Amino acid sequence: MTNSNVDKERLQASMARLFDIYKEIAVVADQVSTWRCLYKDQHDRCTAKFGCRNQLHSRVPGELPVCTGDDRLDYRSAWEI
Amino acid sequence: MPIVHEGLKKELEYVTRPGERKHIEEIFERADPFLHDISHNLIMGKQHEVDRLTKEALDKGFAANTVLDDGLIAGMAVVGVKFRDNIIFVPEVLVAARAMKAGMKHLDPILSASGIEPLGTVIMGTVKGDLHDIGKNLCIMMLRGSGFIVYDLGVDTKPEEFIEAVIEHDAHLVGMSALLTTTMPNMGRTIKAFEDAGLRDQVKIMVGGAPVTQEFAEDMGADGYGKDAMACVEKAKELLGIGAVAFPAPAAR
């Protein structure tokens, strides 16, 4: 099979598989949002584009702020525009 | 053939459920080592590398189906497992999804040439005054994965920006997000702007965000409300009159 000759059935199966992966991600994201701020990355850095009282800014330029939230409170109340 | 890519082997250590590990390993073992590099870079969220390597794979003559299955989707499967097991979180998932999009850019024309059209074109944005984007970004990931073309206007999107994007891309669906009660009214203002521009009948408008409800959506004149990313996809299909269809070419943009 060449690039211009796509196996349509296989493509449909591939897209269904990708959608299933994304679907599970969406379900997990919903669950995670109840116990961890969704903007907090795996290194506990804040990726939000807005200010939050839980952000501890680094002195290193370009470095993401550290999230100091304890996740025990509703983090959403700390979000600011 | 055994997996020799050290980075990928390390990533596979995160896949601990035996059946799942076996299945994913089998995919990687049958794949060409060149595609391992695409998978690994996608897992690491390196969009520029995925962009370059996907193009290179196609130039080398790899079939589009193979690049999609054994490179991009195989990598995303590992991302899904790592997320489910709390090794990575939403920001890392979204970075990987962005890398997926970078790779899909090269596959889209080939896949579209197979005769399957995208489900539709959606304009997405967080409304004016609001900088919260993670829910919107999850919706976009899901919409793209379902086969929609999505143009992301980002955050703090003015009504006129939504309108310009609809005209420019000939879109029939708009998705607006707001997370603050103070910015929710800007959804209504955007809908009013579409009315004033004489475009309201040409587009369906769906809304979402933590403080938004079905009732609020109806009050402001939206066509639909989605409470989460899955509901967003279902609502998008419903509003465009798409039933349970087979998955088309992803046409991620």
Q: Is the pLDDT of residue A77 over 90?
A: no
List the single residue in A5, A12, A26 with the smallest CB-CB distance to B228.
A26
Residues of B in contact with A48 (CB under 8 A): 131-132
Tell me how close the Cα of B143 comes to any Cα of chain A, in angstroms: 9
- Report the largest interatomic distance among the alpha carbons of chain B, rounded to a whole angstrom: 62
Q: How confident is the model at residue A27 (pLDDT cuts 50, 70, 90)?
A: very high
CA B228 to CA B233: how far, in whole Å? 9
User: For residues B71-93, b (16+ Cβ closer than 10 Å) or e, as one string?
Assistant: bbbbbbbbbbbbbbeeebbbbbb
Note the Cα B248 to chain centre separation in Å.
14
Residue pair B149/B120 in contact by the 8 Å Cβ criterion: yes
Q: Is the pLDDT of residue A51 over 80?
A: yes
What pLDDT score does A5 carry? 66
What pLDDT score does B252 carry? 37
What pLDDT score does B110 carry? 84
Residue pair B125/B159 in contact by the 8 Å Cβ criterion: no
Residue pair B225/B208 in contact by the 8 Å Cβ criterion: yes
Strands B224-225 and B121-126: unpaired
Q: Which residue of A has its CA nearest to B87?
A: A42
Between positions 86 and 115 of B, the ones with CB within 8 A of A are: 86-93, 110-111, 113-115
Tell me how close the Cα of A59 comes to any Cα of chain B, in angstroms: 22
The list of chain B residues with pLDDT below 50 reads 245-253
Q: Is the pLDDT of residue A73 over 60?
A: no
What pLDDT score does B253 carry? 41
Tell me how close the Cα of B112 comes to any Cα of chain A, in angstroms: 9
List the single residue in B69, B89, B110 with the smallest CB-CB distance to A40.
B89
Sign (positive or negative) of CA dihedral B207, B212, B214, B220: negative
What pLDDT score does A79 carry? 62
| Mean pLDDT (chain A, rounded) | 84
- Mean pLDDT, range A9-34, rounded to an integer: 91
What pLDDT score does B250 carry? 43
Using CB atoms within 10 Å of the CB of residue B5, give its burial: 0 to 12 exposed, 13 to 18 middle, 19+ buried. middle
What pLDDT score does B163 carry? 98
Tell me how close the Cα of A60 comes to any Cα of chain B, in angstroms: 21
* Residues facing residue B152 across a β-bridge: B124
Candidates A2, A3, A9, A75, partner chain B, best to mutate (most B CBs within 10 A): A3
Between positions 11 and 70 of A, the ones with CB within 8 A of B are: 11-12, 14-19, 21-30, 32, 36, 38-42, 47-50
Residue A3, classed as helix, strand or coil, is: coil
For B180-203, how does the pLDDT look when each residue is reduced to its tens digit (9 = 90+)? 889 999 999 999 999 999 999 999
C-alpha distances (whole Å) from B216 to each of B180, B187, B208 are 13, 10, 10
ipTM value of the model?
A: 0.88
Q: What is the DSSP letter of B72?
A: I
Note the Cα A62 to chain centre separation in Å.
19
